[in-house]
Amino acid sequence: MMLLDWLLVVIAGWLALGVAGIPALRNTGVVARLLFPAGAFLALVLAGLALAALFTEPQTAVLALGLPTLPFHLRLDGLSAFFLLVIGAAGAGISLFAAGYFRQGEGTPPGLMCLEYHLFLASMALVVLADDAYAFMVAWETMALSSFFLVTANHRVPAIRSAGFLYLLVAHVGALAILLTFGVLQAGTGDYTFANMRAQSLSPLWASVAFLLATVGFGAKAGVLPLHVWLPEAHPAAPSPVSALMSAVMLKTAIYGLLRVVFDLAGTQLWWWGVVLLGLGLATALFGVIYSAVQSDMKRLLAYSSIENIGLLFVGMGLAVLFHAYAMSALAALALTATLFHVASHACFKSLLFLATGSVLHATGERSLGKLGGLIRRMPWVAALSLVGVLASSGLPPFSGFVAEWLLLQSFLFTTGLPNSFLNMLVPVVAAAIALVAALAGYVMVKFYGVIFLGQPREPHLAHAHPASPLERAGLVWLGAGCVLLGLFPVQVIGVIDPVTQVLLGAGVGETVRANGWLFLSPTSLGRASYGPLVFLLVVAFAVALTAWLVHRLYHGRLRRSAPWDCGFPAQTARMQDSAEGFGQPIREIFNPVFRMTRELPTPFDAAPKYRVTIEDPFWHGLYLPVARLTERLARLVGRLQQGRIAIYLLYSFLTLIVLLGVVRW
């Protein structure tokens, strides 16, 4: 059997596990202790098969599953194999965590959750394997519907239902744009296979139309501006393993789709496509990180952080398009390598952080940062592993996030060679803004970790918080190990990414990186730029050990314990700690014009004075609500056509026929 056949067996196994959840509809023990761990095992198998497929020739298959004249065409190449690897690796850790997390079914019977969850995994795998528009759209819509039911698992809460409907609406708007993209790419031939689309030679105009439609369609699923509004609503509504799966994996299927269209199916790239992606990505990254800094709900904070990371991925793709349009293939490969490295890195650290919030939510029943604190004492495992995710998300060495951002900034250093003076002036400004985004991301993660785990508990009941279960810990350890290993062995990871850039661009940086040795990462030459993660780790370890030895040697026995500095006020309480709102106050002041803020100030007559700041998304009020009101008005006008009289309806039909006859005659 070919690797593609084995991959289909794994996908069929996920579907079988989902169906097996129906007989065990309310049997939490069977679902959590048997079906979800089996799903994690299949995810590991999928990751292993995908890793092997990266170094083999493309494989194709035709499945007689669709309509009689529209079978499913599947293709396994470097790009699909890489994203299958991400799906399998992240899915294994998330499924293992879910086995210990889904105790009560989160509002939906556990067996039904099992069906929806494994259908979600299988559909994402089929999305990246599809080799025709029909198979792609069937898998894409299955992914959207299964994730909708997962988001609305606790469907009895009206706010959760609203979040789910918003997500489904934006998903279907994006799906329509993707469908139109394929309609343009097939160039009127009537053949919707990707092989036929590759064979077409589109004019620059029609290729640009396909690019813009793809950017809208896949951007809606990824969460780029201004189509991001569903993401901060859906993630807090969904159970934490679902949030992790959506952020770590589902958003990346949109990145896959855009890469597939731009570098594979469109057949050409224009330089201004790269500028569009750069501008869109930069705006999305800045918006996401600024709004993340002022959130007081830990899952909304991570949702906006995901928007920021999607923006960085669009920036990397924009650079790759820009370089490739000017036939600078080696630099395009470097930018694309940075993008794909960030895809893998974000899948690890963001799923780790979402799962950690799930453990905190189960242990405390709280999602508001203002009611947490001091959990490092009650949940040491979760706190330690969350620290790994926080450091990776902050872009600090020697973790995975640093390597991805370092490679991206290295790509920016070569833009001075672009044969366009406008771009040579524009791109350094984008690079400076990306550096600002990276700094603010670190600020956000300090807030996230410090408010939740450090200091004193802000509520008395936090003293009863229970640690994570063994299966939850195992899932967190798996993803935390991914953050560390990706950061410590970037040369080997780039060797895995290199077949993808070879498929899409005909060039890669793997050979150059390997030629400079495994100890140092250098995308060009050791003299120009290099980074040694293991060397860095050894230096840090030596410095820590030396400091500990000196303290023990010179100050042993001189330790004196006393009360901390209290600013002259000894009666301090946990409420006097820096709050999440206080932490975000400088960002609110600096970027005040960006926010739509409502302040509720105390008055002298309040029995219990309160100060509350509400921050709303300006796109919601400036774009979505006006569109919704216009749609309601149009619906009322159209509703007047429904008179309830058969004679009126026959008149409509008669007038329609007259108009059509006139059109045909003309």
Q: pLDDT by residue (tens digit) across 277-318?
A: 999 999 999 999 998 988 888 889 999 999 999 999 999 999
Q: Is residue 115 pLDDT above 60, yes or no?
A: yes
**320/326 Cα distance (integer angstroms):** 10
Q: Which domain holds residue 517?
A: 3-534
Domain identity same for 249 and 352: yes
Domain identity same for 513 and 643: no
The total number of structural domains that make up the chain: 2
Domain identity same for 245 and 109: yes
Question: Mean per-residue pLDDT for 377-401?
Answer: 89
Domain identity same for 489 and 636: no
Residue that is last in its domain, among 478, 504, 534? 534
Give the confidence band of 602 by pLDDT, cuts at 50, 70, 90: low
Structure confidence by residue, pLDDT tens digits, 48-80: 999 999 988 889 888 887 777 788 889 999 999
Tell me what percent of the residues of the chain surpass a pLDDT of 70: 92
At residue 355, the pLDDT reads 93
Structure confidence by residue, pLDDT tens digits, 607-664: 666 667 777 788 888 888 888 888 888 888 877 777 677 888 888 888 888 888 887 7
**13/30 Cα distance (integer angstroms):** 17
Residues 282, 83, 197, 5, Cα dihedral to 10°: -170
**199/476 Cα distance (integer angstroms):** 45
Give the confidence band of 464 by pLDDT, cuts at 50, 70, 90: confident
Q: Is residue 388 pLDDT above 70, yes or no?
A: yes
- Least confident stretch, 103-107, 271-275, 466-470: 103-107
Give the confidence band of 104 by pLDDT, cuts at 50, 70, 90: low
Domain identity same for 293 and 422: yes
Give the confidence band of 605 by pLDDT, cuts at 50, 70, 90: low
Domain identity same for 45 and 154: yes
* Cβ 95 vs Cβ 36: under 8 Å: yes
**104/365 Cα distance (integer angstroms):** 14
The residue with greater pLDDT, 12 or 110, is 12
Structure confidence by residue, pLDDT tens digits, 480-514: 999 999 988 888 888 899 899 988 888 878 777 77
At residue 367, the pLDDT reads 83
The backbone region for 532, taken as left when phi is positive above 0, alpha when psi lies in -120 to 50, beta otherwise, is beta
| 476 burial type by CB count under 10 A (0-12 exposed, 13-18 middle, 19+ buried) | buried
Question: Mean per-residue pLDDT for 590-595?
Answer: 79
Nearest Cα neighbor of 200 from 261, 130, 253, 254 is 261
Mind giving me the DSSP string for 392-436? Answer: HHTT-TTSHHHHHHHHHHHHHHTGGGSS-HHHHHHHHHHHHHHHH
* Cβ 94 vs Cβ 238: under 8 Å: no
The residue with greater pLDDT, 242 or 419, is 242
Structure confidence by residue, pLDDT tens digits, 428-460: 888 888 888 989 999 999 989 988 888 778 877
Give the confidence band of 144 by pLDDT, cuts at 50, 70, 90: very high
Q: Residue 578: inside a domain, yes or no?
A: no
The residue with greater pLDDT, 583 or 136, is 136
Q: Residue 576: inside a domain, yes or no?
A: no
At residue 591, the pLDDT reads 80
CB atoms within 10 A of CB 155: 14
Q: Residue 331: inside a domain, yes or no?
A: yes
At residue 640, the pLDDT reads 75
Helices (H), 556-644: 580-590, 618-619, 625-639
Structure confidence by residue, pLDDT tens digits, 165-184: 889 989 999 999 999 999 99
Report which DSSP code applies to 462. G
**352/54 Cα distance (integer angstroms):** 25
> Which tokens sit at 466?
């229970």
Q: Residue 149: inside a domain, yes or no?
A: yes
Structure confidence by residue, pLDDT tens digits, 540-592: 888 888 888 887 777 766 666 776 666 666 667 767 777 777 777 788 778 87
At residue 533, the pLDDT reads 79
Domain identity same for 530 and 622: no
| 584 burial type by CB count under 10 A (0-12 exposed, 13-18 middle, 19+ buried) | buried
Question: Mean per-residue pLDDT for 116-120?
Answer: 92
Q: Residue 598: inside a domain, yes or no?
A: no
The residue with greater pLDDT, 663 or 376, is 376
Domain identity same for 529 and 632: no
**492/400 Cα distance (integer angstroms):** 13
* Cβ 64 vs Cβ 490: under 8 Å: no
Q: Residue 627: inside a domain, yes or no?
A: yes
At residue 120, the pLDDT reads 94
Residue that is last in its domain, among 534, 565, 596? 534
Q: Is residue 370 pLDDT above 70, yes or no?
A: yes
Give the confidence band of 604 by pLDDT, cuts at 50, 70, 90: low
The neighbouring-strand residues paired with 596 are 616
Assess whether the previous peptide bond of 398 is cis (omega < 30° from 0): yes
Helix or strand run (H / E) with residue 153? none
Helix, strand, coil distribution of the chain in percent, nearest 5: 70, 5, 25
Residue that is last in its domain, among 499, 514, 534? 534
At residue 342, the pLDDT reads 92
Helix axes 421-453, 580-590, angle to 10 degrees: 160
Q: Residue 482: inside a domain, yes or no?
A: yes
Domain identity same for 291 and 406: yes
Q: Residue 591: inside a domain, yes or no?
A: no
Domain identity same for 394 and 264: yes
At residue 558, the pLDDT reads 67
Summary mean pLDDT of the chain: 86
Helix or strand run (H / E) with residue 463? none
Mind giving me the DSSP string for 592-612? Answer: GGG-EEEEE---TT-SS---E
Domain identity same for 305 and 452: yes
- Least confident stretch, 208-217, 289-298, 378-387, 549-558: 549-558
Domain identity same for 528 and 627: no
Tell me the CB-side half-sphere exposure of residue 253, using CA atoms within 13 A.
33
